[in-house]
Structure 1
Amino acid sequence: MKGSTLAMNKNKFVYAAFLAIAFAATFSACSDKRSTGLEYARNMYDPIAFNPDQPNKNFKDGKTAQLPPANTKPVGFEEYDVYPNTLEGYNEAGAKMVNPLPADSVNLAEGKHSFVVFCAPCHGEKGDGQGHLVKIEKFTGVPAYQTGASSRGGNMVDLTAGKIYHTITYGVNNMGSHASQITPTDRWKVVMYVQQLQKGQ
């Protein structure tokens, strides 16, 4: 009997202590509305590293974000500046560039996939210039690959691989550059598929 009374008193003490701590915590949190209260594991969300826009005394100019050293290139970056974004560069690319990829079913299928994602909204899945954005009159004047005329002279059906690649890279008229969206290798796959559409296939 005495033991059970002691246990009951112990439990009451624990409950009372818990309530007192909870009350104190609640009261302290409400006393200053600007206070965030106690913070647990603050180092989990305060980064040790500098943010790019923070001042940094480790560099002479005091900036965290530094320009890369001259002549460095990102991993996987393929430079395309042999043919400039001019009519002359376009014609030179058309005369000299050749698709380096084998014309197999895998490359053609991947080219079709990229074409449907990036090009078909304007050019249409058949390359007829009747993509969704043309049908809702967002864009006009998109030529068909089989029958249209190129704005830079000649017929779309006669565009060479180099001219198509140059156009994907730099864009022309309402068509913007796709260089940031389609890798150089995938651009050649799209070129391969566009040449199939030129033949009406």
Structure 2
Amino acid sequence: MKSIYKITLLVGITILVSSCKNDSKPNYQYMPNMYEPVSYGTYSQADVFKGGKEGQLPVEGTINRGFEVYEYPNTPEALIAVKAANLKSPLGVLSEKDIEKAKGLFEIYCAICHGNAGDGQGNLVKQGKFLGVPNYKDREINEGSIFHVETYGLNNMGSHANQLSKKERWMVASYVMDLKSKL
């Protein structure tokens, strides 16, 4: 008797579930654009853009909001000019709080290669991943040249302009000069 009830229950559930499906009248989609979006291929022409262009470019001469212009270009001659101009940090003497922040930024972005003491013996150098990382003691550098290299990068070192703001790059440059004086 129990098996008849089980079979009847199973058949009833099957009929109930199958009765909800109707191919001629599909279910209503709430927010159909979420399920079937209008796709645009990367760099492809679209009616959205004026004249069917491949995208909208910013107006000539505009800069991003919040971007601070750095007047020296990314060339070796500009680095020499920055060293010769002996640029100083516009922040002046750093407070104790700013020195701690600069130390933290240096340890995050620079110490992996340059070492915590600025001796060129960071973890990546010790493991043999990078060779020839300079010791600050042996280099003729100033705050301006450090800022320039942080902004554009040099040799194997990439730019840190996207990770660090202009103020933070000047803070790290001041901290590096402090490390150099201790070596």
Report the TM-score, using the length of structure 1 for normalisation.
0.70
Contact 1:120–1:127 (8 Å) recurs in 2: yes
C-alpha distance after superposition, 1:61-115 (max 9, x if no partner): 32473111122211111122x2223333112212242201132112211211111
Q: Tell me the residue number matched to 2:103.
A: 112
C-alpha distance after superposition, 1:15-65 (max 9, x if no partner): x6x86442234696xxxxxxxx74642346258898574643243332473
CA spacing shift, 1:109–1:83, aligned 2, 3 Å:
same
Aligned-pair CA distance for 1:136: 0.6
Describe how 1:12-91 pairs up with structure 2 within 5 A.
Answer: 20-25=15-20, 38=27, 40-43=29-32, 45=34, 53=42, 55-63=45-53, 65-80=55-70, 82-91=71-80
Q: Tell me the residue number matched to 1:171.
A: 153
Number of corresponding residues: 169
Q: Tell me the residue number matched to 1:92.
A: 81
C-alpha distance after superposition, 1:108-129 (max 9, x if no partner): 1121111111111100111111
Contact 1:115–1:190 (8 Å) recurs in 2: yes
CA spacing shift, 1:48–1:64, aligned 2, 3 Å:
farther
Structure 1 residue ranges, 4+ long, deviating more than 4 angstroms after superposition: 46-52
Q: Which amino acid aligns with 1:23?
A: S
Superposition RMSD on alpha carbons, in Å?
3.1
Q: What's the % identity of the aligned pairs?
A: 37
Structure 1: any 5+ residue segments left out of the alignment? 1-15, 29-36, 149-155
CA spacing shift, 1:69–1:86, aligned 2, 3 Å:
closer
Structure 2: any 5+ residue segments left out of the alignment? 1-11
Q: Which amino acid aligns with 1:144?
A: N
Alpha-carbon distance in 1 for matches of 2:101, 2:178: 13
Alpha-carbon distance in 1 for matches of 2:31, 2:125: 53
Contact 1:120–1:131 (8 Å) recurs in 2: yes
Contact 2:114–2:134 (8 Å) recurs in 1: yes
Q: Which amino acid aligns with 1:115?
A: F
Alpha-carbon distance in 2 for matches of 1:59, 1:44: 20
Task: Say which one has the larger Rg.
Answer: 1
Q: Tell me the residue number matched to 2:165.
A: 183
Q: Between 50-59 and 61-70, report the one with greater CA deviation.
A: 50-59
